[in-house]
DNA sequence: GCCAACGTTGGC
DNA sequence: GCCAACGTTGGC
């Protein structure tokens, strides 16, 4: 099962907003970048991802999972843009900040560090396991 | 608020 | 098809 990372500015869409949607989850709309869209096309039901706060917060704060495969983004004026649906799994007991990630040699190759502008990105199994450990999250 | 990095657009 | 100009993102 592949792992991912979803970026959001907390004042635009926070983990609490997603929690309110419950098991049904919510559409991850608004992605207007081909690489990010292609990543969403690769997602399968049950794939898990981190929820990352960009700009304000700058930390991995929660775990989410894909509950609907990529489909056209209803907020886009062009059908080339797609989105998946995700739902909340759990808030992390301890947030892992961007600074933590940059300082950790095991995480320094993360896409988050090297291509900070990509809003939906893949995470390797090793990175996933390490961040879960740092965050006190039991898989 | 600034600026570097990146993606997109449009003229040639 | 190249590349300059522009817009956006996101860290600082």
Give residue-wise pLDDT tens across range A101-112.
999 999 999 999
pLDDT tens-digit map of A87-132: 999 999 999 999 999 999 999 999 999 999 999 999 999 999 999 9
**Is strand C less than 7 A from the beta carbon of A130?**
no
Give the neighbor-by-neighbor strand order of the sheet with A3-8: A26-27, A82-97, A59-72, A48-53, A3-8, A120-123
| Domain residue limits, chain A | 3-128
CATH class for domain A3-128? alpha beta
Count Cβ atoms within 10 A of the Cβ of residue A68 and give its class: 0-12 exposed, 13-18 middle, 19 or more buried: middle
> In what helix (H) or strand (E) does residue A122 lie, and over which residues does it extend?
strand A120-123
| Nearest nucleotide by C1' position to the A54 CA atom | C10
| Nearest nucleotide by C1' position to the A117 CA atom | C9
């Amino acid at each position: 099962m592949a792992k991912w990372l979803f970026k959001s500015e907390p004042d635009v869409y926070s983990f609490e907003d997603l929690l309110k949607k419950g098991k049904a989850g919510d559409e991850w709309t608004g992605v207007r970048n081909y690489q990010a869209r292609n990543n969403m096309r690769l997602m399968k039901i049950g794939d898990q991802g981190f929820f990352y706060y960009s700009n304000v917060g700058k930390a991995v704060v929660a775990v989410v999972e894909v509950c609907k495969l990529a489909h056209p983004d209803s907020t886009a004026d062009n059908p080339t843009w797609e989105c998946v649906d995700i739902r909340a799994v759990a808030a992390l007991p301890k947030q892992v900040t961007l600074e933590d990630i940059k300082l950790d040699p095991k995480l320094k190759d993360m896409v988050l560090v090297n291509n900070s502008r990509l809003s939906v990105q893949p995470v390797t199994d090793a990175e996933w396991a390490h961040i879960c450990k740092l965050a006190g999250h039991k898989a």
